[in-house]
Chain A
Amino acid sequence: MADKIAVAVDDLTVAYNYKPVLWDIDLSIPEGVLMAIVGPNGAGKSTLIKSILGIIDPIAGSVQIYDKPYHKQRHLVAYVPQKGSVDWDFPTTALDVVMMGTYGALGWIKRPGNKQKKQSLEALEKVGMLPFKNRQINQLSGGQQQRVFLARALVQNASIYFMDEPFQGVDATTEIAIINILKELRKAGKTVIVVHHDLQTVPEYFDWVTFLNVKHIATGPVKDIFNDDNLTKTYGINYKVAVQQ
C-alpha cells in the first residue's frame, strides 16, 4: 500500500463569485485507503470532491487520477452525491436509478440492456435492496435511498469511490451496512474517499483522514494525525475528543 498515488491534487483553488472556497490545496491520496475528509461547515469538503470530478471548474490548479487528467480516467471513478442534491419525487424506480451507474460505460446514445440490468440487480442485492427494486424512489426511507445511491456507485465497478456524506440522515442499521461495504471495497484494493461529519466515528470507520478548512491542513493515517492538534487547527476552537487507539 501507499506506493501508488490514486488521486493527486495540485495547487487547487476554487472560488464562487470571487470568494475562495478552496485555497491552494495540495493533496495526494494513496491507492487502497478508506479516507474521511473532515472539516467544519463551509470548509469546502463537497467542493473538493466536485472539483476533482470536474463538476466544478477550479480557477487554478490541476487534478490527476492515476497520473492522468480526470476526463481520461472517468471509467476508474464512481461518485455518490449528497442525497439531498436530487429530487426524489422524480418518476423512477430504485432499479432504474442504479442502472444510471452504467450510463458512463455505455457512452452517448447507447441504451442499457440485459447485461446492465443484471449488474444493477447484483448491486442492489449487495446493499440489501433487491426486494425494493421496483419501488418508486420517493417511497423509500432515507437510509434506503442512500443504499440505492451506493448501489449505483458499485455498478460502476470503479477503482476510486467518492462519496459525499453517505451517512447523513440514515438509520444506524444502514450506517453499519454502508461502512461494511466500504471496508469490503478497501479490502478489494479500491480507494474510497468519504466526506464525513461525525468525528466520533472517524477512528472506527476510516484508516486515513484529511483535515480541510478552505486550506488543506493535514492528510495521513488516522493513527498518526487524528489528534487534538489537527482538530484544533481545523475547527478553530480548542478541540478535545477521546480518540481510542
Chain B
Amino acid sequence: MNPEIAILLISCLTAVACAIPGVFLVLRKMALISDAISHSILPGIVVGFFITHDLASPWLILLAAISGIVTVWLVEAIQKTGLVKEDTAIGLVFPALFSIGVLLIAIYANDVHLDTDAVLVGKLEYAPFDNWIINSSSSQEGITNPEDFINMGPKSLWTTGSVLLVTLVLLGLFYKELKLSTFDIGLTSALGFSPVILHYGLMSVASVTTVVSFDAVGAILVVALIIAPAATAYLLTNDLKKMLLLSVVFGILAAFGGYYLSMWLDASISGSITTVLGLIFLLVYLFAPSRGLLAVLFRQRRQRTEVSLLTFLLHLNNHDSIEERSVTHLQEHINWGKVRAKKVLKLALENNMISKNGDVVTLSNKGKEFTEKALDYIITNKDEKIEDMKDDFFLFRG
C-alpha cells in the first residue's frame, strides 16, 4: 500500500474512532478521564509487549484496555472516600500507573523498540511499514517460500479499523441508552437501564480506542483527538446526532489538514494533526453563529442598545410634558453620550416607536404597546406572552 494513503487512512480512522467516545466524555464532563486513561494504559502495553512481542497484538490491546478500566475504577474508588475531589483523584491515579509503565520499560525493555518518544507522540510515520504478514503455507515447516507470505497492509490500519467498526456498532445499538444516561442518570436507573454498565461500557470503548490510537499518535496527542472535535462540535449544534457527525467531520478534516501541514513543515504528523484540531477549535470559538465569541459580543452590544431603547421609551411613557420630551433635554436627563443617544433615537424611529416633530418626540401607539408589553414581561416574567417579541429583540431571550 502506498505509504501516503496508508498514513492518511490510519489517521482518519483514528480520528473518527476517538471523536465518537469523545462526544460522550465531553458531555459527561469527563474529558479529563481520557487524559488519565491514555497515560495509565502504559503498564498494560508494556506487560502485553513482554508477553506477545507485538504492539498490535489483540492481547496487548486487551491488557492495556484493562489498565484503562482499572484507572477509571481507581479514580472512582478514591473519590468515593470523600477525602479528595475527582480532579485530585485523577491526578493521583494516572501518574502512578504511567510511572510504573516507564519503570518497566527502563528496566526490562531498554533494547526493544518501545521507547518513551513513541509513547509520547506516537509513530504514525512508521505505521505503513509495520505490516501484517500472513503465512499461507501451513503444512511444510522450515521451508520459506516468499510467495507464501501475503502482505495484508499496515497492522495499525487493521487494529484501528476493527475498533472503529465495533464502536460504530455499539453506538448504533446503544445510542438511546447512552444519550439517556449522559443526560439524566437518575431516570436511567429508575427506568431499569444500568448506569454502571453503560458507564463502564463507554469507558471500555474509550480505553480500547485510546490503546489502538496510542500506537499512532501517542499518549498526549490522543487526548486532543478525543476532546477537541467534541468540544468544537458542541459550540455549533444543539442536537446530539449532529454533534457526533460534526465531531467526526472535524476529526477527518484535521487528519487530512494535519498530514499535508506536516509534509509542508517536514514535521511530526501527529503533532500537525493536533495543531490543526486546535486551529479549527479557535476558528469555531471565534466565529460560531450563536455561541462564538464574536456572536456573543455582538449580542451583548445589541442587548445594551435595546435596554437603552426601553429606558428611553419608558421615560417618554412616564412624562407627558413637552419639555421632558425635547431631544436636548433627553440627552441631559438620561445622561447618555451623544453617540449613544443618537443611536437609540434612530433605532426608535426606525421601528416606528416614536414620531419626531421638530425637537419634540412623541411615543407612537406601537411604541406604547411595546413599552407596556416589555414592562409587563419584566414585572411578571410570563414567558408565553412575549414569544413573538423574542424573534425581534434579543432583550427577551433569557
Contacts and interface: CB of A to CB of B under 8 A. Distances in A.
Question: Do chains A and B stick together as partners?
Answer: yes
A42 interface: no
A54 B195 CA distance: 12
Question: What's the interface size class on A, roughly?
Answer: 35 or more
A79 B190 contact: yes
B183 A93 contact: no
Contacts of A171: 381-383
Interface in B186-217: 186-187, 189-193
Contact of B243 (A50, A91, A141): A91
B394 to A, nearest CB: 13
A92 B239 contact: yes
Contact of B183 (A54, A79, A97): A97
Contacts of A53: 186, 189-190
A91 B177 contact: no
Interface string B219-260: 000000000000000100111101100000000000000000
Contacts of B82: 17
Interface in B346-384: 381-383
Contact of A81 (B29, B175, B186, B242): B186
Interface string A88-110: 00111100010010011010111
Given A17-B82, A81-B184, A90-B183, A103 B176 contact: yes
Nearest to A81: B186
A236 interface: no
Given A55-B186, A104-B191, A143 B383 contact: yes
Contacts of A110: 176
A103 B180 contact: yes
A111 B173 CA distance: 9
B350 to A, nearest CB: 27
Interface in B45-88: 82
B398 A54 contact: no
Contacts of B176: 103, 106, 109-112
Nearest to A174: B383
Contact of B234 (A71, A91, A144): A91
B239 A93 contact: yes
A103 B183 contact: no
A141 B383 contact: yes
A74 interface: yes
A90 B181 CA distance: 12
Given A91-B238, A91-B239, A173-B382, A55 B182 contact: no
A86 interface: yes
B330 interface: no
Q: Which of A54, A92, A112, A171 has the most CB of B within 10 A?
A: A92
Interface of A: 17, 50, 53-55, 71, 74, 77, 79, 81, 85-87, 90-93, 97, 100, 103-104, 106, 108-112, 131, 136, 139, 141, 143-144, 152, 171, 173
25 contacts: A50-B186, A53-B186, A53-B189, A53-B190, A74-B190, A81-B187, A85-B184, A91-B27, A91-B237, A92-B183, A92-B238, A92-B240, A93-B239, A100-B184, A100-B187, A103-B176, A103-B177, A108-B193, A109-B173, A110-B176, A131-B387, A136-B238, A139-B397, A144-B383, A171-B382
